[in-house]
Structure 1
């Protein structure tokens, strides 16, 4: 997907951007930002509007969609099942179906205007400046917290691979997960200084293969390495359902880049088929991992199933090493949209490289501080899923769709379905956010 110079037209309501750089946050992150002459100050649409040359094929778009839905949520899915019990698997299917439907709603919203290039544009089409701002804020907050989750994930798994590692600097001794979080951030930091992330976008595509490899490694550990399926588990745990729902929703939080993926297609009308393939494949992968992990470890499964795997086994090492690939390749993709928004706010002309590097360094430093202060991967991901992913994947698509097309345009059955999703999504967001925050506070 290439990015053209021509500025995209203003939204139909004529609303300008709420903040510079908020127009297309995910386009910067996913790719294909090419080196070009700097636009004039204020010409932010020109910086962000994609204009595909020929467009991606159906197969390549499916791969992009799978990569959007496949992520670190795979590691926490057994823990989510342990929180909700076996019957909560039905909720995984419900969440998948709802998120698939809201993905279709986003596609319909995009078809309403050629000016729509990304998620914030849909918000602008529906509610003008405020809609763009709301969509952008939720997307940036989600990306920022996911980046923090990456650091926690890396620290946990590296500590399992190299237990007891410590480093002494003068009178200060740093060890264990804290040490690895700092070291990983130091290694990742230079990648965030890149203005063009085309290479990183291709590297991040390995996430699809990595997700399959991790499931295979867990299966290998159970069948070949002798762990077996000893965990009985619970049928239903009502108190853990909010956490389970938050984590299930986090697994399907690819809506932020669905508009970008759709725009990259040669035949955009086939995007609904892409969604079917992506959601079915990812649900099978998530469901397999959830069942495997819970059967193996029962209620003793940890927030990352890789932390349960036996040390010294080839399958365990391969699973952990594979798990470590995604955060290294995708961290920069997560924080760059936020960095660009800040830079364009501070430097409209975007011509001070030193300030750009300083801004990105400070953002990385802030994620390190939070990762060290809140080292609870499962709880953090549940919070992201409950608060931010529910908003971006369930509530906002429904609200934007009703506002753009009007209740009269939709049939009574569809309005009833959308209203049900909004009510249930609001309930999940409220209960899940409260439960996640409560658990994080209790861990301190």
Structure 2
């Protein structure tokens, strides 16, 4: 007798491609559901580093940096959609087969063959690993801050990462069912909202200390740092095609995406400004470290986050988690790390590759001004990645701001 299969344990992240000759069927998600999915895929713990980024760049420069990052990311997401629409609109005249683009890697394969697919998916994997490291650093440092003696932590963050967080993550890695992981993901999203709400509450309790005389623009050297943090905060770029394909009416996706980006950008700017104006030069690279150790702050600091990666072997899963934990234990500063990830990996995924794919895959159909915009995005993205990486790795920020 054949063994029964639990459908929930085999639930795919993406539906399989349609049969040969068939076109893609519409998804089932409404505009409201898609809006929620976009917000969940973009907003992460990186937002808690925004006040520190505003401290480094200045509240006005930081606001402009977040706005530019939001507009640029939105524009490049549309480039990916245009590439897919253009490719799927060109059927093979001899066989009548339709082209099906399901993922970011599929576009990489169309642009550069197998090498393009591997490169694109490798960058996505490494960027997600970078996000996972940032989560562990965040949780480890917050838990460590609960045990202090004369302003110094008694227990280093690495102890919490290896003895508490790593065992939990290893246990979660055995779960193969996406539906089983969903409660952990929902809990993490709820904690993100709770954390932001409590931080904003604490900010407004210090309203009388607010001063717009705090640095509005702290020098051009701080802009790449803040830009890297801002780009990191707009994570979830690789989910663009899946989110658009999930909609019942894909024609509305651009407007839903625009609404999501406007809302998220305004929230990011407000959160960064209020956090910086409340604490000024005392703003920590994780804003929750500025909170007093009362019950509400402790609730935020001990919150947990779960994430999962589907790998072919359980041993490989555990090895990946161990490597992530080791890297997280070696990260000296949350803000510098997320700026580095945003300046390098996220910049390549969010700006450089979309502009390159658009030029290669849609080149014959592009007008001169469209080519010019693509080249501008490509060159600026490369320049930002190079200088942002140098800036994040240098000690100039620490020396200039005398960070303890």
TM-score, length-scaled by structure 2: 0.84
2:326 to 332, 349, 369: 369
Identify if the C-alpha distance between structure 1 residues 244 and 181 changes in structure 2 by more than 3 Å, giving closer, same or farther: same
User: What residue in structure 2 maps to residue 19 of structure 1?
Assistant: none
* Structural mapping, 1:24-423, within 5 Å: 34-36=8-10, 49=16, 55-88=28-61, 89-111=63-85, 112-113=87-88, 114-163=99-148, 175-182=155-162, 183-206=164-187, 209-224=190-205, 228-229=209-210, 232-236=213-217, 237-312=219-294, 314-321=295-302, 324-325=303-304, 328-329=305-306, 331-332=307-308, 336-337=309-310, 340=311, 343=312, 356-406=313-363, 408-423=364-379
Question: In the TM superposition, what whole-angstrom CA distance separates every residue of 1:161-183 from its partner, at most 9, and x where no partner exists?
Answer: 3446xxxxxxxxx9331211111
Distance in 1, matches of 2:344 and 2:44, equals 18
* Cα displacement (A) at 1:386: 0.4
1:57 and 1:50 map into 2 onto residues whose CA distance is 21
Structure 2 counterpart SS, 1:175: coil
Q: 1:198 offset after TM fit, Å?
A: 2.3
User: 2:84 and 2:14 mapped to 1: Cα distance?
Assistant: 20
Taking a change above 3 Å as real, the CA distance of residues 205 and 267 of structure 1, as seen in their structure-2 partners, is: farther
Residue aligned with 2:221, SS: helix
* Separation (CA, whole Å) in 1 of partners of 2:14 and 2:104: 16
Alpha-carbon shift at residue 219 of structure 1 (Å): 2.4
Give, in angstroms, the shift of residue 68 of structure 1: 1.0
**Regions of 4+ moved over 6 Å:** 45-48, 50-53, 440-443
Counterpart-to-counterpart distance in 1, 2:73 and 2:27: 29
Counterparts of 1:368 and 1:235, CA distance in 2: 37
1:250-286 CA-to-partner distances (Å, cap 9, x unmatched) read: 1112211111111211112221112112101111111
Paired residues, what number? 370
TM-score by structure 1 length? 0.76
- The CA deviation at 1:148 is 1.2
Report the CA distance shift for 1:241/1:441 in structure 2 as closer, same or farther (over 3 A): closer
The Cα offsets for residues 313-351 of structure 1, whole Å up to 9 and x where unpaired, read as x44234435xx34xx22x32xxx14xx2xx3xxxxxxxx
* CA distance 1:428–1:191, change in 2 (3 Å): same
Q: Which residue of 2 aligns with 1:40?
A: none
Change in CA separation of 1:371 and 1:98 when aligned onto 2, cut-off 3 Å: same
Cα RMSD after superposing both structures: 2.8
